[in-house]
Structure 1
Amino acid sequence: MLEAVAQGVALGISLAAPPGPVNAIIASRSLSGWRKGAAVGLGALTADLIFMAITVYVGYIVPSSIFPFISIAGGVFLGWLAYGVFKSREAYRASGGNGASRASYLTGLAMGLTNPFQIMWWMSVGISLARSFGAEIFIGFVAGVLLWVLSFSFSVNKFGVSPRFAKGVRAFSFITLSAFSVYLVAYGFKELFFK
């Protein structure tokens, strides 16, 4: 159980940390107060929790014979995300308004609920992880996202973000996403051909 939670923490951080629209808004709002930045991330995490509940439900109604294909698709999707992180040269750019914490939360929620990558992740990778690791990995996932959102918001508010830090985050995310990608593809093929 502890291993699945730890893997979930690593996965949560690796997905929440790469530079992108949500982190750009977190950085921007954190400049006027870490709570405003954290509210954006908590809004996006709320979207994850909604998708997680849907994933658990869908996982129960999807026939077992479909799971290997979902696992392979999820692994390919994670590989594609890892490749995108590897090729990315984005920084955590401050953009957008300062907004109140409530508005920041709603911004993050709206971004999360309308993000096709987030939806696709939960419907492919999320279902596969639930099947492979159980609910424990999701406990770790939420903890990892929370850890990232709170520490990133606070750090940006106090210190800003250096290019070296952004490069380290990209490297960590690439390695973690690649490892889960390989695992899910291998798991899918094992279930298809060696069960």
Structure 2
Amino acid sequence: MTAIATALAGIVFGIALAAPPGPMNAIIAEESVVRGWNAGFRAGLGAMLADVVFFVLALAGVVAVIDRYPAVRPVLYLVGGLLMLYFAVGAVEEARAATSFTDGSRGASKGFRKTFALSLTNPYQIGFWLTVGVGLLEAGTLDVLSYVPGAGGALEGALIVQTGSPSLLLGFFGGIAVWIVAYPAALVAAGRRVDAFAPTVAALSAAVLAGFGLLFLAVGTLRFV
């Protein structure tokens, strides 16, 4: 039962990590409504592959090296911010060109390369693998419900998760996989029903990318000062 609970906890954790709004989901959304489910799924795969790369590097202890060089993070913020602004310009062009949902005939998809490049230069993603990710890899147990405010004592021992176990890690990446399959599918379903959905989502994606790009540039600049 502990292995099953650990796997389910990993799935929930993976979905919770992948689902929040941000530059990766903005690109997935843009690709899905402009070029169809396949393009959106490939964009999601780019972000997921970056997590696999960070997982392997964390396992080998390489990711921790970044923490020893404070100047690396500001550079990552600046590079990531510039990439987001560049991709935001492309999203604006997509929003202008898209008049309705398309089945994938509107040009070649670059979503995989976009999300992969952004993920590899994303300080927040690197920070996750330097902190929480390391905790996932270390062998041990975590009494999840014991931390619930006001009810932790009564729920203690009800949900034990084994950190560092294959079940948790498989569940974690399985949760991300569920998101990159279901999220584009939901967007495509909506796009087929509402003609204005594609240009609206592309415009929102551009706004999200531009906003995060400016934020990353500001943070990177401040850290250099």
Q: Which TM-score band (shorter chain)?
A: 0.5 to 0.7
1:36 corresponds, among 16, 34, 39, to 39
Q: Give me the identity figure in percent.
A: 38
2:79 corresponds to: none
2:20 corresponds to: 18
Segments of 5+ residues of structure 2 without an aligned counterpart are: 66-89, 95-105, 141-162, 198-225
Q: CA deviation at 1:99?
A: 5.6
2:189 corresponds to: 158
Write the distance in 2 (CA, Å) between the matches of 1:109 and 1:99. Answer: 19
> TM (normalized to structure 1)?
0.60
1:100 corresponds to: 108
Answer yes or no: is the 8 Å Cα contact 1:41–1:108 preserved in 2.
yes
> TM (normalized to structure 2)?
0.52
Write the distance in 2 (CA, Å) between the matches of 1:37 and 1:45. Answer: 13
Alignment of 1:1-195 (within 5 A): 1-31=3-33, 32-58=35-61, 96=91, 97=94, 100-101=108-109, 103-131=110-138, 132=140, 133-134=163-164, 135-160=166-191
Q: CA deviation at 1:100?
A: 2.5
Q: CA deviation at 1:136?
A: 2.3
- Per-residue deviation, residues 32-69 of structure 1 (Å, max 9, x unmatched): 2011111111000000000001111229x99xxxxxxx
1:71 corresponds to: none
Higher helix share: 1
Matched to 1:15, the amino acid is L
- Label 1:99 to 1:122 Cα distance change in 2 as closer, same or farther (>3 A): farther
| Structure with bigger gyration radius | 2
- How many residues in Structure 1 have an aligned counterpart in Structure 2? 128
- Label 1:144 to 1:99 Cα distance change in 2 as closer, same or farther (>3 A): farther
Instruction: Name segments (4+ residues, structure 1) moved above 6 Å.
Output: none
Write the distance in 2 (CA, Å) between the matches of 1:25 and 1:104. Answer: 7
Write the distance in 2 (CA, Å) between the matches of 1:2 and 1:57. Answer: 27
Segments of 5+ residues of structure 1 without an aligned counterpart are: 63-94, 163-195
2:215 corresponds to: none
Matched to 1:111, the amino acid is L
2:160 corresponds to: none
- Label 1:42 to 1:99 Cα distance change in 2 as closer, same or farther (>3 A): farther
Write the distance in 1 (CA, Å) between the matches of 2:10 and 2:108. Answer: 31
Please give the root-mean-square deviation of Cα atoms over the aligned residues, in Å: 2.5
- Per-residue deviation, residues 89-146 of structure 1 (Å, max 9, x unmatched): xxxxxx8247634x21111100111111000001110111111411321111111001
Write the distance in 2 (CA, Å) between the matches of 1:99 and 1:124. Answer: 39
